[in-house]
C-alpha cells in the first residue's frame, strides 16, 4: 500500500470529524439563540402586561376621583339651587311686606332695602326686557290697566299692589300703564311716592334711561319727605352712569354720600364711584 493511498482515508476521516463537530456546535448555538428569543419574548410580554395592569389601575383610580368630584359638584349645585330658591322666596316676601303691607309708613332702612332690590346696572333681580314669558293676563286688553280703579280701595292699596305685581312679573309696559293709572286715580294715596319710584325702576329695566331719570327726579321733587328719596337719588346716579354722563353720575353719587352718610345707599354710592374710577372715567 502506498503512502498516498493511506493519506486519502485519513483526510476523509478528519474532514468528517470536523464537519460533525461544526454541525453539533451550530445546532447547539441555534438552540441557545431560540431559547434566548423565547425567554426575551416572555420577559417583554410580562413587562407589557405589568405596565398595562398598572395603567388600568391608574385609570380606574382617576375615574373614581372624577366620580367623587362630580358627586361633590352635584351636591354643591343642589345646595346653590336651594339657596337661590330660599333667597328668591325671602326677597319676594320682603318686597311684598315692604311695598304692600308697609306702604308709606316703612322706615328709612327698610325703604333702602326695597329701593335696592332692582339695581339698574348689574345684578338686576328682575329679568331683562324680552325675557319674561307673556301670560294670559299680559296678553289681555291693556285698557283695563288704564282704568284701574278698585271698588272700595280708598287709599289705592289694591291698585298699587296690582301694578307692583305686574312689574315683578316682568310685564314692563303693562306695569308702566298700571302705575300711570294709579297716579291718575289715586293722587293722594300714601303709596304715591312708592308708585313714582317704581315707575322709574320700570323705565330703568326697560333701558329707557332718559325717562327713568325724569321719574326718579320726580320722586325727589314731589315727595321730599318720602323714604323713597334716598333710593331715588342713588338711582339718579346709577342712571347717569348708564347714560355715560360720568360727571353728572359722580355729582349725584357724591350727594347721596353727603346727605345719607353711614347708610346702605351711601355705601353703594361709594362702590359705584370706585367703579367709575377703576374704569377710567
Last residue within a domain, chosen from 101, 119, 145 = 101
Q: Are residues 131 and 268 in the same domain?
A: yes
pLDDT higher than threshold 60 for residue 228: yes
147 in the same domain as 70 = no
Task: Note the helical H segments in the chain.
Answer: 3-96, 108-115, 136-139, 143-146, 157-168, 172-185, 192-205, 209-222, 229-242, 246-259, 264-278
Instruction: Please check whether residues 147 and 274 belong to one and the same domain.
Output: yes
Cβ atoms of residues 179 and 198 within 8 Å: yes
Residue-number span of the structural domain to which 155 is assigned: 108-278
Is there a domain that residue 3 lies in? no
> Are 193 and 257 members of one domain?
yes
- Is residue 228 a contact partner of residue 196, using CB atoms and an 8 Å limit? yes
Q: Is residue 9 part of a domain?
A: no
Domain count, the chain: 2
Nearest CA to 204 out of 181, 161, 171, 172 is that of 172
For residues 206-227, give the mean pLDDT. 95
pLDDT at position 61 is: 84
Domain stop point among 101, 127, 154: 101
Indicate if 122 and 232 belong to the same structural domain: yes
At 175, list the grid cell. Answer: 306695569
Tens of pLDDT along 25-77? Answer: 555 555 577 777 777 777 777 776 777 777 878 888 888 888 888 888 887 78
> pLDDT, tens digit, for every residue of 131-189?
333 333 333 334 344 445 566 567 888 889 999 999 998 899 999 999 999 999 999 99
The pLDDT score that the predictor gives to residue 46 is 72
CA dist., res. 203 & res. 172, Å (int): 8
**pLDDT mean across residues, the chain:** 74
In a domain, residue 84? The reply is yes
Q: Which of 101, 136, 165 is the last residue of a domain?
A: 101
Q: Kindly state whether residues 88 and 127 are assigned to the same domain.
A: no
pLDDT level of residue 199 (50, 70, 90 thresholds): very high
Q: What is the pLDDT of residue 62?
A: 86
Evaluate whether 198 touches 219 at the Cβ level (below 8 Å): no
Amino acid at each position: 500500500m502506498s503512502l498516498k493511498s493511506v493519506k486519502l482515508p485519513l483526510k476523509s476521516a478528519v474532514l468528517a470529524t470536523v464537519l460533525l463537530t461544526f454541525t453539533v456546535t451550530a445546532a447547539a448555538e441555534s438552540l441557545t439563540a431560540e431559547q434566548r428569543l423565547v425567554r426575551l419574548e416572555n420577559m417583554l410580554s410580562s413587562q407589557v402586561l405589568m405596565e398595562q395592569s398598572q395603567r388600568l389601575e391608574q385609570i380606574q383610580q382617576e375615574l373614581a376621583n372624577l366620580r367623587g368630584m362630580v358627586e361633590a359638584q352635584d351636591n354643591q349645585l343642589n345646595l346653590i339651587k336651594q339657596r337661590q330658591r330660599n333667597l328668591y322666596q325671602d326677597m319676594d316676601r320682603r318686597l311684598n311686606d315692604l311695598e304692600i303691607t308697609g306702604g308709606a309708613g316703612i322706615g328709612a332702612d327698610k325703604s333702602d332695602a326695597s329701593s335696592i332690590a332692582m339695581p339698574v346696572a348689574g345684578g338686576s333681580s328682575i329679568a331683562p326686557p324680552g325675557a319674561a314669558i307673556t301670560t294670559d293676563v299680559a296678553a289681555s286688553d291693556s285698557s283695563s290697566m288704564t282704568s284701574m280703579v278698585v271698588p272700595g280701595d280708598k287709599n289705592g292699596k289694591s291698585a298699587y299692589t296690582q301694578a307692583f305685581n305686574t312689574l315683578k312679573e316682568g310685564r314692563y309696559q303693562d306695569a308702566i300703564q298700571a302705575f300711570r293709572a294709579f297716579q291718575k286715580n289715586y293722587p293722594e294715596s300714601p303709596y304715591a311716592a312708592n308708585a313714582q319710584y317704581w315707575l322709574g325702576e320700570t323705565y330703568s329695566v326697560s333701558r329707557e334711561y332718559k325717562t327713568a331719570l325724569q321719574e326718579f327726579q320726580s320722586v325727589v321733587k314731589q315727595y321730599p319727605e318720602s323714604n323713597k328719596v334716598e333710593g331715588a337719588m342713588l338711582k339718579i346716579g346709577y342712571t347717569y352712569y348708564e347714560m355715560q354722563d360720568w360727571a353728572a353720575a359722580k355729582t349725584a353719587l357724591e350727594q347721596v354720600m353727603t346727605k345719607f352718610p353711614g347708610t346702605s345707599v351711601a355705601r353703594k354710592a361709594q362702590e359705584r364711584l370706585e367703579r367709575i374710577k377703576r374704569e377710567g372715567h
